[in-house]
């Protein structure tokens, strides 16, 4: 019986009893004496019954809140990448970068991209390696695709100095104020602010740092411009994030380029993150995929680590550098226990189709597309095919990589 039906039944019963109590009682004729206690009515019977029913009502248990997080690796804008967006009328458009993963983006709530190169815009002139400056129209394409978190703390942040950083920050804040741009700051207060994604009371903190800026120093009067990996700063930020949020994600730019596993710096910071109780780490910078690991600290807390997602799109000329990864992590908060946890994680390998400079998920890729990929024109890359891609993913990701599904997919029972 529903709460409403129970409530109505009790009220009706109360009315019937009240009505009966008000009727005249006749003495029996065959009994000479009888001690009869008069029945008294209470005008508040209905109200009292309602109060009793309300006391019985139990507050409904809130269902767990579910958030899907998706992240792609480096948008590394070499000259053939930015020239791929030139239209016949001279305008720039980069929607082709993301068209083949749009369905995946549409399914996630948190959508993160590592914007490897600074978006200083046309004012500074576009440039490629070693000092990059990229079109702001790439940011337009990222916004149109639905990315709502943009990472800018990279080793290329200072390539064009303060002006490019200022242009980049103003581009995001003025044109797309709803998007969280993290890693760059215009003052110390901004640097100390913890960026938090909130959904129905579930708060997820997002922190972004880089190991360095290619030897280009930060201005002495603006040391806050770029978030750097510094143990004291990182520790303070994580402790603050744990006070303000339910779940903490660190997004470091770290590691050794073209190495398939973590170096000593990554291992050192991974241990620090784990000791501090971070929940999820997703790394960038090496330009190739690296392995995935679950770390358990002394208190039994588990932390999931994607060491590197590699390149998402780039003009690099080695076949292992056109293989990247798209991380997907499902996160829940149980309001009854106040526990937050990962229920499932996935890594979908992605392939940069050089020439078109679009990107395909490996499960949508085939030998015909591989044969058309211009990476095959580079020295030592003529054997770029599906067999090479699958073997390389297995080499890097180990037994977690399912060659039949062409992805890593791990479900965690809670």
Task: List, for residues 203-228, the tens digit of each pLDDT value.
Answer: 999 999 999 999 999 999 999 999 99
Residues 167 and 297 in one domain: yes
Residues 185 and 54 in one domain: no
Residues 118 and 172 in one domain: yes
- Coil, helix or strand for 54? helix
Question: Is 34 a member of any domain?
Answer: no
DSSP strand pairing (110-114 vs 302-306)? unpaired
User: Domain limits at 392?
Assistant: 65-411
Question: Is 254 a member of any domain?
Answer: yes
Residues 51 and 113 in one domain: no
Residues of the chain with pLDDT under 50: 2-42
Residues 49 and 135 in one domain: no
Report pLDDT digits (tens) over 336-370.
Answer: 999 999 999 999 999 999 999 999 999 999 999 99
Residues 248 and 397 in one domain: yes
Residues 92 and 47 in one domain: no
Q: Provide the pLDDT for residue 264.
A: 98
Residues 44 and 109 in one domain: no
The Cα–Cα gap between 69 and 331 comes to 8
Q: Provide the pLDDT for residue 9.
A: 47
Q: Residue 133: give its domain's CATH number.
A: 3.60.21.10
Q: Provide the pLDDT for residue 409.
A: 85
Q: Provide the pLDDT for residue 57.
A: 52
Q: Provide the pLDDT for residue 413.
A: 55
Q: Provide the pLDDT for residue 164.
A: 98
Residues 173 and 200 in one domain: yes
CB 359 within 8 A of CB 141: no
Question: Is 311 a member of any domain?
Answer: yes
Residues 225 and 88 in one domain: yes
Residues 53 and 127 in one domain: no
How many domains, in total, are found in the chain? 2
Task: Give residues with Cβ within 8 angstroms of 358, minimum separation 6.
Answer: 96, 97, 99, 100, 313
CB 238 within 8 A of CB 269: no
> Is the peptide bond preceding residue 234 cis, with omega within 30 degrees of 0?
no
Single pTM value for the model: 0.86
Instruction: List b or e across 275-308, with b for residues whose CB sees 16 or more CB atoms inside 10 angstroms.
Output: bbebbbbbbbbbbbbbbbbebeeeeeeebbbbbb
Question: Is 30 a member of any domain?
Answer: no
Q: Provide the pLDDT for residue 406.
A: 87
- Coil, helix or strand for 129? coil
Nearest to 153 by CA among 205, 123, 194, 118: 118
Alpha helices in 132-210 (DSSP H): 137-145, 161-175, 188-192
């Amino acid at each position: 019986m529903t709460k409403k039906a129970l409530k109505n039944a009790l009220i009706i019963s109360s009315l019937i009893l009240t009505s009966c109590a008000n009727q005249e009682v006749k003495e029996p004729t065959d009994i000479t004496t009888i001690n009869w206690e008069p029945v008294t009515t209470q005008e508040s019977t209905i109200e009292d019954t309602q109060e009793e029913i309300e006391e019985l009502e139990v507050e409904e248990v809130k269902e767990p809140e579910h958030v899907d997080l998706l992240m792609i690796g480096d948008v590394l804008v070499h000259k053939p990448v930015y020239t791929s967006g030139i239209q016949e009328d001279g305008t720039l458009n980069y929607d082709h970068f993301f068209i083949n993963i749009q369905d995946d983006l549409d399914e996630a709530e948190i959508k993160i991209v590592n914007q490897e190169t600074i978006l200083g815009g046309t004012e500074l002139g576009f440039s490629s390696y070693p000092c990059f400056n990229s079109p702001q129209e790439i940011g337009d394409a990222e916004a149109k695709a639905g990315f709502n978190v943009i990472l800018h703390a990279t080793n290329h942040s200072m390539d064009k100095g303060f002006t490019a950083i200022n242009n980049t920050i103003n581009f995001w804040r003025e044109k797309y104020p709803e998007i969280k741009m993290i890693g760059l700051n215009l003052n110390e207060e901004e640097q100390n602010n913890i960026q938090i994604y909130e959904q129905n009371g579930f708060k997820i903190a997002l922190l972004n740092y880089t190991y360095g800026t290619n030897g280009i120093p930060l201005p002495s009067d603006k040391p806050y411009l770029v978030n750097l990996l510094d143990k004291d700063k990182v520790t303070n930020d994580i402790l603050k994030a744990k006070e303000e949020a339910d779940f903490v994600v660190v997004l470091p730019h770290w590691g050794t380029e073209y190495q398939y596993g973590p170096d000593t710096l990554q291992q050192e910071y991974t241990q620090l993150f784990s000791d501090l109780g971070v929940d999820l780490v997703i790394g960038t910078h090496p330009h190739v995929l690296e392995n995935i690991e679950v770390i358990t600290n002394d208190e039994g807390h588990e932390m999931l680590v994607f060491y590197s997602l590699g390149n998402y799109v780039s003009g690099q000329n080695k076949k292992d550098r056109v293989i990247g990864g798209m991380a997907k992590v499902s996160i829940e908060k149980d309001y009854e226990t106040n526990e937050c946890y990962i229920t499932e994680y996935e890594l979908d390998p992605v392939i940069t189709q050089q020439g078109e400079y679009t990107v395909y998920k490996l499960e949508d890729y085939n030998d015909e597309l591989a044969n058309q990929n211009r990476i095959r024109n580079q020295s030592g890359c003529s054997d770029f095919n599906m067999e090479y891609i699958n073997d390389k993913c297995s080499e890097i990701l180990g037994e977690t990589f399912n060659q039949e599904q062409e992805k890593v997919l791990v479900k965690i029972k809670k």
